[in-house]
Amino acid sequence: MDDRPIADRWQDIVQHVKEEYLSETQAYPWIVGFSGGKDSTVVAHAVFEALLSIPPSRRNRPVHIVSNDTMVESPLVMAHLDSVTTLIEGAVEGLGLPMTVARTKPDLDKTFWVLLIGKGYPSPNSQMRWCTDRLKIQPTSTYIKDNISAHGAAIVVLGVRRTESIRRMQTVNKYENLRGSNLNEHSSIAGAYIFRPILELSTDDVWELLGSFPAPWGGTHTKLFQLYRDAEGGECPVVLSKDEAPGCGTKNSRFGCWTCTVVEKDKSLQGFIDSGQHAYKPLVAFRDWLVDIRNDPARRSAIRRNGRLTFDLSGKHIPGPFTIQARREILERLLQVQSEFGGQLITDDEVNLIHKFWAMDLQQQEGLANV
């Protein structure tokens, strides 16, 4: 345990980041995973401070600040992320830093609503969590792979901490640093290496740092403190592999998709409501309804999307996707909730593609009926 003053420890972290940035053994681009939560904010802060301490002539390594939008993020969290990334973009331009601010999103045919309402995927649960890979892992992994293709490799800078949870500690310990290096190989992306500058910080350390030093891109971290206070929890971290997927949809990481049906109760949304954000009530009610209808046999097709009846090893029937009628019901309710909420919850492009998938499924059903 490091009992030194937080200011001294912070200077060590910034110096560590600076030395790694200036490493003579490799100059691959950095991709900083930025969720807007406390841990990724501290990491982005450290990277900023390190770059500002380096003469412009030596700032040769490109840095990408990359956030992910699942398109079903909690609107309050998304508003915070938008605000912070806008400030970062302005600071990067004003300070002349070699940084790119980017945001990844799932492909249109892989969004939550297109898969749930368009194709009828049942609401995700702990046994069938189809959302994490499509909404989080694939979009950001594609961004990383594009950089690997362009530069030969990429360094992913993450706000991973050993003390976050037992599961996270096990994952961290599983992938220790390469010999003589501050990097460790990514578990599933060839050519990607992980740099973890705040690995040994505790949660209290993170909050003390955020409260002690103003954001280098301008402003303070006051809104971030308030966001956590209102939501009573933490954020779903940047997820880059299935090893890390349990961080999404667990009681330990409660900032995330407002549609998350993997958790029993959405504590962050309820926290926002309890703190006076009553506009979120329809969203919570809708999410709870998605959980309730998941296993309703009247709303599920008897056959799978491949046209087959499926049974498990015990002989129990495994139902197929939501029926077209159920999907229509879900879309109608969602559009009503969107109207009540007063903010966009589904895009017009998603609605149009949903209707196309319905037409294709109806055509397929008619073909099967005529066989």
pLDDT tens by residue, 77-93: 999 999 999 999 999 99
What average pLDDT does the chain have?
88
pLDDT band, very low/low/confident/very high, at 240 (cuts 50, 70, 90): low
Domain covering 6-108+130-247 in this structure, CATH number: 3.40.50.620
pLDDT band, very low/low/confident/very high, at 199 (cuts 50, 70, 90): very high
Give the residue extent of every domain in the chain. Answer: 6-108+130-247, 267-369
Nearest to 37 by CA among 275, 198, 276, 266: 198
pLDDT band, very low/low/confident/very high, at 175 (cuts 50, 70, 90): very low
pLDDT band, very low/low/confident/very high, at 307 (cuts 50, 70, 90): low
| % of the chain with per-residue pLDDT over 90 | 69
pLDDT tens profile 347-360: 999 999 999 999 99
DSSP β-ladder status, 30-33 and 183-185: unpaired
pLDDT band, very low/low/confident/very high, at 364 (cuts 50, 70, 90): confident
Lowest mean pLDDT among 32-41, 153-162, 202-211, 270-279: 270-279
Query: Are the C-beta atoms of 143 and 155 separated by less than 8 Å?
Result: no
- Give Rg (Cα) of the chain: 22
Query: Are the C-beta atoms of 293 and 272 separated by less than 8 Å?
Result: no
pLDDT band, very low/low/confident/very high, at 237 (cuts 50, 70, 90): low
Whole-number pLDDT of residue 230: 85
pLDDT tens profile 249-259: 554 445 789 99
DSSP assignment of 128-146 = ---HIIIIIIHHHHHHHHH
Determine the average pLDDT of the residues in 261-280: 87
Nearest to 34 by CA among 24, 51, 47: 47
Determine the average pLDDT of the residues in 91-100: 97
DSSP β-ladder status, 99-104 and 63-68: parallel
Lowest mean pLDDT among 37-46, 108-117, 170-179, 205-214: 170-179
CA 275: distance to chain centroid?
A: 24
Whole-number pLDDT of residue 64: 99
Q: Tell me: pLDDT of 228 over 50.
A: yes
Residue recorded with tokens 């790119």: 100
Q: Tell me: pLDDT of 166 over 50.
A: no
Determine the average pLDDT of the residues in 48-64: 97
DSSP β-ladder status, 154-157 and 192-195: parallel
Lowest mean pLDDT among 69-83, 139-153, 311-325: 311-325
Lowest mean pLDDT among 124-138, 177-191, 270-284, 355-369: 177-191
Whole-number pLDDT of residue 126: 87
